[in-house]
Structure 1
Amino acid sequence: MDEQFAPSAQRRLHTETFLRAEYVETHAQVEKMADRFSVSRALALDEGASPGLIAGAVVSFSQQ
Structure 2
Amino acid sequence: MRLLAPAERLGVLRELQPTMSAGRARRTAENADGAAYADAVSEYAALGRDELREVARAVMAVTSGRG
TM-score band by shorter chain is 0.3 to 0.5
Q: Relative contact order, CA 8 A, sep 6+: which one is greater?
A: 2
Between Structure 1 and Structure 2, the one with more helix by share is 2
Structure number, greater radius of gyration? 1
